[in-house]
Amino acid sequence: MARQYTLHRTAQSPASGIDYVAALNAEQYQAVSSPPGRALVIAGAGSGKTRTLTYRVAWLLDHGIDARQVLLLTFTNKASREMTERVRELVPHDTSALWAGTFHSIGSRILRRHAEDLGFNRSFSILDRDDQKSILSAVITACDINTKQRRFPKPDVLASMFSLVENTDSTLEDVIAARYDMFYDWTEEITRVRDGYIAKKLATNSMDFDDLLVMTVRLLEERPDVLEIYQKRFSHILVDEYQDTNAVQNRMIDLLAGKTNSLMAVGDDAQSIYSWRGADMSLILGFPQRYPGARVFTIETNYRSVPEILNLSNAAIRANSGRFEKDLRASRDGGGAKPALVPLADPRTQAAFIAQRIIELRDDGIPLKEIAVLYRAHFQSLEIQMELTVRGIPFSITSGLRFFEQAHIKDVSAFMRFVVNRRDEVSFLRMVNLLPGCGAVAAGKLWSEWLKTGWSTKDSPPPLWSEILLKFKIPKKSAKHWEQLCYTLDELTPDGELARPSAMIFSILEGVYDDYLTATFDNSESRRGDIERLSEYGGGFDDIEEFLAQLSLMSSTDGEPTGERPTPDDEKVTLSSIHQAKGLEWKAVFLIWLVNGQFPNSRILEADDDAILEEERRLFYVALTRAKDELYLTYPMTNPKSYTGDVICQPSGFLDDFPAELIEEWNVGGDDPWADDEPF
């Protein structure tokens, strides 16, 4: 039997000089100074989560823990850098041996040392999304899958599909059935592609981002000797944003923590909003049961928002049953305005109100960079972008490209531009390049054939496009889709007359583009919403040429001010989806489109699933808690639809979750909101 010998390291004195009691509030101090063991810290919005984690690391170093024994797992590189920099500023100890980084970066670091144990070598390449798509394209070709009759999912969709399999511990068949049911008949072929993709990565000594987690877990499970190395090294493990962990990340944590290492997980169950990408909220809710004897600390003092906003936020989240009990308390004084509930006539009036109120807030001393407009989905920002542009109010968008710059909006526009201007080569080529099997060479030949017909120079479109275009020579793989495209063009110009914009968009989406969306983009539902919103916007135009001119003008202004007043680059209003806004804050926040079917969205209402609805309510809570001083909850009472006329909107059910006395309802009236205004 081996003799047990203990190595005693020279203890470091707590030389930082930090007065932890003075630097932290009582709740933070209790968590930071807790003894070794298993602990869950429920840190509410704006309660100083980063500060708590940073001081916990400093506390460990100040109490004799070697930096090399500490592992800090985060979800973003930015968070990792911020925390390690703060620790360096706090303590005089050498922190270079501390491991801090995202789950993926820590996995990569481990794999670089032990890749040979998995059949790779240490110089393996890490594939980004474009690399993945290239390999998947090659694998699809090698599998010789017949895609002539139906669209096979594009590499981007396959990559998202395979990622969900890895991050949720689900089977491929289950993922397809639950999230990609339109491809269920392709399950056998998709399975072959996945097998080929895995083999190709091994053959090319490459790993994708999911592999950095999956392979790390596999290594630690298959090689107990390697696991022992890291369990002995990391005696103190800290995890940030624990509510966002998925099954693979949790397995990695459990393996490294073992039975004896200290583990402190910090998060907020009320801000768990990423189940769609694999996050499993049951992990944070079940932490005390998985780790018997674990301490649970709750940090409820909020340093961000005024009491009026926090009272509303607390009341809103209480409607959820699956949560840890907590109520955020404001450290700031109250007495300000209550959050405003603002019903408005329609989406355009909603946009006009927000733009006018932004100008008023700026005149009252709130910088534009301290103002945000938040929404559930990117397409809900259409009217806001238009109104801010018209008024010359600068804005930036964190939820994606400006509405009219998005690829799918440009794709749909190409159909309309071509039937209006039949000499528009750019639009024609963009349109036909959507066809499977139709590359640049084939598209160029089709353009030449079109010019030969003579219709490009005539004053009006042909009575029937299909009679002309179906005679063209088409690649065999494109034939069926080309035929549908021709019949769709017929619908855009019935009897040689240009249809209304909204009717054109509907025909394009239903006729050819919906299938393309589903097979091409992993966020096809969101993009479909954009196009439907564009159709509703087009309902306000009778003249297609006027509509296309407006689209061009909106694309070219780039949201910059049209007035003469110079504006600093960072002086812009922020437009953001709520998911993108998590972790950020502004003095004034407008939360828009609070109607059933928009927020919560229709898919969630139709699912009739309490767990899904509760996540949507957590998203609502996240939005509320981004506001520091002023909060405006707005919704249109009617929504003009292309064919059915004005639809009466039902206010979001989330507005029923709190007492009426917590808000102040505004009654907006006055002049025509779309009358000419002075530039900003």
Sign of CA dihedral 301, 303, 306, 310: negative
Residue that is written with structure tokens 């309309």 in the block: 416
Residue that is written with structure tokens 């869950």 in the block: 40
Tokens matching residue 385: 């972008």
Q: What are phi and psi of 672, to 5 degrees?
A: -60, 115
Give the number of C-alpha atoms closer than 13 A to the C-alpha of residue 232, restricted to the C-beta side. Answer: 6
- Residue numbers annotated as active site: 49-50, 240-241, 271, 626
Report the alpha-carbon angle 516-521-526, nearest 5.
Answer: 100
The CA-based dihedral angle spanning residues 386, 389, 395, 397, taken in that order and rounded to the nearest 10 degrees:
40
Q: Please, are residues 636 and 344 in contact by the beta-carbon 8 Å criterion? A: yes
Q: Please, are residues 604 and 388 in contact by the beta-carbon 8 Å criterion? A: no
Type of residue at 478:
S
The CA–CA distances, whole Å, from 76 to 32, 53, 103 equal: 22, 15, 9
> How do strand 70-74 and strand 236-239 relate by DSSP bridges?
parallel
Sheet of 627-636, strands arranged across = 395-397, 573-577, 371-375, 586-591, 627-636, 340-344, 664-665
Tokens matching residue 100: 């801090």
What's 99's DSSP letter?
A: E
Report the greatest alpha carbon distance in the chain: 97
Report the alpha-carbon angle 523-527-528, nearest 5.
Answer: 115
Report the alpha-carbon angle 626-613-622, nearest 5.
Answer: 5
Q: Please, are residues 614 and 622 in contact by the beta-carbon 8 Å criterion? A: no
Q: State the DSSP H helix or E strand holding residue 501, giving kind and residue range, or none if neither.
A: helix 501-508
Type of residue at 209:
F
Q: How many CB atoms lie within 10 A of CB 490?
A: 19
The CA–CA distances, whole Å, from 204 to 154, 200, 208, 254 equal: 22, 6, 12, 31
Instruction: Choose among 302, 274, 276, 272: nearest CA to 285.
Output: 272
The CA–CA distances, whole Å, from 569 to 188, 324, 560, 561 equal: 52, 42, 10, 11
Give the number of C-alpha atoms closer than 13 A to the C-alpha of residue 43, restricted to the C-beta side. Answer: 28
Strand partners, 236: 70, 262
Residue 390: strand, helix, or coil: helix
> How do strand 638-641 and strand 627-636 relate by DSSP bridges?
unpaired
Q: How far apart are CA 530 and CA 536, in angstroms?
A: 10
Residue 392: strand, helix, or coil: coil
- CA 364 remoteness from chain centre: 33
Q: Please, are residues 273 and 582 in contact by the beta-carbon 8 Å criterion? A: yes
